[in-house]
Structure 1
């Protein structure tokens, strides 16, 4: 079978295939026998239907279309094998199918054009001697005290208070009735807006703005009406932005009596014997978290630099696979949140989700291809012993191993280890400059603001600069 290849953009190969008459006739006979064996026609036993009756029932155009589809698929498969083409995904027919159908005769040859996706064509122009910047995350050891305070609060004893008004930090027990103002200005109760013996901690960030602050300062058995408004971005659209009136009665005030930060406390909230050991473990934890975040920033900076030096033609087949993966992840997340995806995801919504996911899919593929090209050029691979040890370590941490696909687990861990090895190698042959946390984000925001500056304002600034220079 004669095949002419053509290199196409986006990692595609075009194929012009000349199908010989022998293959055409053989496919015709094969499809005819298969369909005649399976068709049911009243008055005839299955497999014993005469050819003229079969063609009359099925229709010659429909039958020829079925033969042509089989012939094209067989020809493409044979051409790919014959030419040793590393094809991914299915073929795309470039010839007009209706035109081929009108030309097709089982005793004659046929010429058709198709394209197939092949692995990405990748060029990484530079991956050594790069200089990148990454934000350094310093440990915030104030988190140690905040964590200990949270542990204290969890173990606090609630002591009734009768000799003073409520204040921030107290626990208040209240009755309240909430109403919202409708379009006519009338106050009406709303679902979930009332409760009795409701216990609430008087701390910022709880409930809608003004509710907690309105309770602070109330005396025991005091009642008051509190007029506030729901935020415009409130989670319940029917309440968002509406004025609200809460009638509140303060029934109890309790203050927290915190336990001492001593060795007994450490033993109760942790595995450590002393408060000093607990503090040290927390300091180590937050230091490690900062170190890990810094390393993540370094890795991101290196990968971003690689992508900037990457030329890659990515076939649509791979992009669609990555889009499908991202879409599946999103749907699974919806399901875990208790959302009925069958009702939520209409065809239009899914199509929009695919469009929105495509840029992220392309970006993810570019990052993977860039790292893969480094591994290819430098011969970086994962040792079998290291992989086996990682698999054993991971399996030991999994409670129900029966729910794990062992082959998939090995694949994922191998990819993780390979990426770690590549990034370690890259850090050794490139320069990573550490800069203060937030500085790169600030620089990006300033650059974006400059890019968005109206031309007339930019021109005005330029005139001012020229005038100032002239004045000097």
Structure 2
């Protein structure tokens, strides 16, 4: 079989394929035999229908079309194998199918043209000696006190209050019932889900609809009063969004939090006996937050390098590669929504999926280019993961996952990918000059959010796939 290659835009290879007369005849005979087996004609046994009758019954063009389909499919597969073309996806027939039918004669050579997507050629204009800036993250000393205060709050004892009115920070037990006037109504109706008995509510800002907690402040146990609130404009229930409402509230009980002393006994209880003293707890928290800050600084440096590397890469991406990445990103989005308890069948449908794919396309292209650029750096600098290094990490993870059903081959592949990326990033950051600047110095543009519909849950669709 004669094959001529041609380089095309968008990382495609054009193939002009000449089908031999022998292959042309054999395929024609086989297709006719298949038609014969499927046809029942009175007076003829099945499979014994003469060719002329078969042609009259089906029509020559229909038979030739079936032959052409098989010749193109088989010829292309053999050509790809013969020419060692690493095709990525489905082919595109460049010849006119109708013209191929008109030209085709059984037993004679047939020539057609097709195109296949292949991996793109990657060019890095520069990949070392970058001069960049990245934000340095420093640990906030107050985080230690904040965590300890959170532990104190969680371990607080609730003590009944009888001699004073409610104040912020108290815990109340209330009965409440809400009513509102709908936009298209004249009489008040009950707020859907706006009624409860013995409801425990911490009197802190943001715990309920704006104005609800403020209305309880100053009440005494046993007191009943009405308060007026307004539901937020973006409230999930459309009939309540932006509507004023009245709640009748009865304060049944009032309690205040009695916080434990911050001492060694507190440290032991809060940590489940992990720490013997409060000093050990503070030291551990400080170490943790310092490591987190260092990791975030490292991530900022890597992000700066990756962004610059993206500016330096040139690659004509094939559509197959982009489509696969978009499909992967949409699938990841669907999985994340499902994990959040969102009904993905309602949010992701025939109308929203195309829009989500289109919106994901720029990110997909960027992700592909980053991956290709990193691979090119590894190739140029001969960076690779050693067998011992890979096996040690895999065994370490297997011991952690002991008792679970683990696909070792998939785990090994994922670990190798992570280790290689780590090596590449270490090389890139080591071979660049990165100035650390205070956190908040480098302004980042906020991404625009386009909702799929008016439902507030649609905001969750704006999910970014971690690389």
The normalised TM-score by structure 1 is: 0.89
Distance of aligned partners of 1:42 and 1:250 in 2 relative to their CA distance in 1, 3 Å threshold: farther
**C-alpha contact 2:182 2:240 (8 A) present in aligned 1:** no
Distance of aligned partners of 1:257 and 1:101 in 2 relative to their CA distance in 1, 3 Å threshold: same
- For the pair 1:174 / 2:174, whether they are aligned, the reply is yes
Q: Could you list the per-position Cα deviations for residues 329-386 of structure 1 after superposition, in whole angstroms to 9, with x for gaps in the alignment?
A: 1122233233443454322222222111111110100110111110010000011111
The normalised TM-score by structure 2 is: 0.90
Equivalent position of 1:316 in the other structure: 319
Give 1:32 deviation, angstroms: 3.1
Give 1:125 deviation, angstroms: 0.6
Q: Could you list the per-position Cα deviations for residues 245-284 of structure 1 after superposition, in whole angstroms to 9, with x for gaps in the alignment?
A: 1111111110011111111111112111111111111111
Distance in 1 between the 2:410 and 2:54 partners? 48
Distance in 1 between the 2:41 and 2:343 partners? 46
Q: How does 1:230-245 map to 2 (within 5 A)?
A: 230-245=231-246
Q: How does 1:388-403 map to 2 (within 5 A)?
A: 388-398=391-401, 401-402=404-405
Distance of aligned partners of 1:32 and 1:343 in 2 relative to their CA distance in 1, 3 Å threshold: farther
Give 1:323 deviation, angstroms: 0.8
Distance in 2 between the 1:277 and 1:302 partners? 38
Distance in 2 between the 1:155 and 1:361 partners? 46
Q: Could you list the per-position Cα deviations for residues 122-158 of structure 1 after superposition, in whole angstroms to 9, with x for gaps in the alignment?
A: 1001011111111111111211111111111111111
Moved more, 82-91 or 5-14: 82-91
Residue segments in structure 1 that go unaligned for 5+ positions in a row: 449-472
Distance of aligned partners of 1:25 and 1:312 in 2 relative to their CA distance in 1, 3 Å threshold: same
**C-alpha contact 2:374 2:424 (8 A) present in aligned 1:** yes
Q: Could you list the per-position Cα deviations for residues 187-213 of structure 1 after superposition, in whole angstroms to 9, with x for gaps in the alignment?
A: 211221011111101112211111112
Distance in 2 between the 1:57 and 1:155 partners? 86
Q: Could you list the per-position Cα deviations for residues 286-336 of structure 1 after superposition, in whole angstroms to 9, with x for gaps in the alignment?
A: 111111111111111111111101111111111111111111111222332
Distance in 2 between the 1:133 and 1:49 partners? 79
Equivalent position of 2:353 in the other structure: 350
Q: How does 1:201-216 map to 2 (within 5 A)?
A: 201-216=202-217
Give 1:36 deviation, angstroms: 4.0
Q: How does 1:369-408 map to 2 (within 5 A)?
A: 369-398=372-401, 401-402=404-405, 404-408=406-410
Distance of aligned partners of 1:407 and 1:433 in 2 relative to their CA distance in 1, 3 Å threshold: same
Equivalent position of 1:458 in the other structure: none
Distance of aligned partners of 1:217 and 1:185 in 2 relative to their CA distance in 1, 3 Å threshold: farther
Distance of aligned partners of 1:260 and 1:36 in 2 relative to their CA distance in 1, 3 Å threshold: farther
Equivalent position of 1:334 in the other structure: 337
The CA RMSD measured in Å over matched residues stands at: 2.1
Q: How does 1:390-469 map to 2 (within 5 A)?
A: 390-398=393-401, 401-402=404-405, 404-441=406-443
Equivalent position of 2:21 in the other structure: 21
Distance of aligned partners of 1:40 and 1:254 in 2 relative to their CA distance in 1, 3 Å threshold: farther
Moved more, 374-383 or 275-284: 275-284
Give 1:49 deviation, angstroms: 4.9
SS in 2 for 1:33: helix
- For the pair 1:41 / 2:59, whether they are aligned, the reply is no
Distance of aligned partners of 1:30 and 1:355 in 2 relative to their CA distance in 1, 3 Å threshold: same
Equivalent position of 1:460 in the other structure: none
Distance of aligned partners of 1:349 and 1:141 in 2 relative to their CA distance in 1, 3 Å threshold: same
Moved more, 195-204 or 1-10: 1-10
Moved more, 78-87 or 95-104: 78-87
Equivalent position of 2:456 in the other structure: none
SS in 2 for 1:440: coil
Distance in 1 between the 2:45 and 2:171 partners? 85
Moved more, 74-83 or 48-57: 48-57
Larger fraction in helix: 1
Equivalent position of 2:140 in the other structure: 140
Moved more, 54-63 or 252-261: 54-63
**C-alpha contact 2:221 2:253 (8 A) present in aligned 1:** yes
Distance in 1 between the 2:46 and 2:330 partners? 45
SS in 1 for 2:40: coil
SS in 1 for 2:354: helix
SS in 2 for 1:433: strand
**C-alpha contact 2:162 2:221 (8 A) present in aligned 1:** yes
Equivalent position of 1:72 in the other structure: 72
Equivalent position of 1:462 in the other structure: none
Equivalent position of 2:290 in the other structure: 287
Equivalent position of 1:306 in the other structure: 309
Distance in 1 between the 2:435 and 2:36 partners? 73
Moved more, 280-289 or 373-382: 280-289
Distance of aligned partners of 1:400 and 1:60 in 2 relative to their CA distance in 1, 3 Å threshold: farther
SS in 1 for 2:351: helix
Distance of aligned partners of 1:169 and 1:399 in 2 relative to their CA distance in 1, 3 Å threshold: farther
